[in-house]
């Protein structure tokens, strides 16, 4: 297989089994990224390593189980998984329902503003056309509502 992808500055490295993984510790603990591809922001680093020799961590507010060397976290409400990496509501961690709702609101608001602008422009064009020319467009309206046709050499003062 080919090389893997490492996120957030993780360093790609060959694993003992010939596969590829990421060295997230190369980023530095102040950055605190973890996972096979350094895709999870680690909130707590646990003692020991997992059965594959990976550094153990907890994400999304999870805390390491004290006194246990295997990976396992006490997860905050709404999260689960060995590292608290999965949302209990089933939504991906990078796409919350709130962010989708915000995007929908922006699209609806933008569409509404465009519709109002189009209506204003059309209304202004209709009003301008009615004011600028009388009913048949060949003359001017005189007092009393009669239309007077103008010749080519006539000016209105």
The angle at the Cα of 94, spanning 9 to 89, to the nearest 5 degrees, equals 140
Same domain, 115 and 77: no
Instruction: Tell me which long-range contacts 14-22 makes (C-beta under 8 A, separation of at least 24).
Output: 16/53, 21/54
3 in any annotated domain:
no
124 three-class SS: helix
Domain count within the chain: 2
Model confidence pLDDT, tens digit, residues 112-147: 999 999 999 998 888 887 776 655 555 555 566 665
Q: What is the pLDDT of residues 27-54, one digit of tens each?
A: 665 667 877 788 888 888 888 777 767 7
Residues 74 and 25 in one domain: yes
Where in the sequence is the domain holding 53, given as residue range(s)? 11-87
Contact 64, 46 (CB under 8 A): yes
pTM of the model: 0.44
Q: Where are the alpha helices (DSSP H) in the chain?
A: 97-132
Q: How far apart, in whole angstroms, are the C-alpha atoms of residue 55 and residue 17?
A: 17
Are 42 and 109 contained in the same domain? no
Residues 27 and 76 in one domain: yes
Residue 131 inside a domain? The answer is yes
């Amino acid at each position: 297989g080919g090389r893997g992808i490492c996120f957030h500055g993780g360093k790609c490295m060959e694993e003992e089994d010939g596969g590829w993984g990421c060295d997230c510790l190369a980023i530095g603990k102040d950055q605190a990224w973890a996972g096979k591809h350094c895709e999870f922001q680690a909130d707590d680093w646990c003692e020991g390593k997992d059965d594959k020799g990976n550094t153990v961590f907890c994400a999304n507010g999870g805390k390491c189980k004290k006194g246990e060397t295997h990976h396992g976290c006490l997860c905050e409400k709404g999260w689960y998984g060995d590292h608290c990496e999965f949302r209990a509501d089933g939504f991906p961690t990078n796409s919350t329902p709130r962010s989708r709702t915000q995007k929908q609101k922006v699209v609806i608001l933008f569409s509404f503003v465009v519709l109002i602008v189009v209506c204003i422009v059309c209304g202004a064009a209709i009003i301008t056309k009615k004011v600028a020319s009388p009913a048949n467009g060949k003359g001017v309206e005189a007092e009393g509502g009669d239309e007077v046709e103008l010749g080519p050499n006539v000016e209105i003062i």
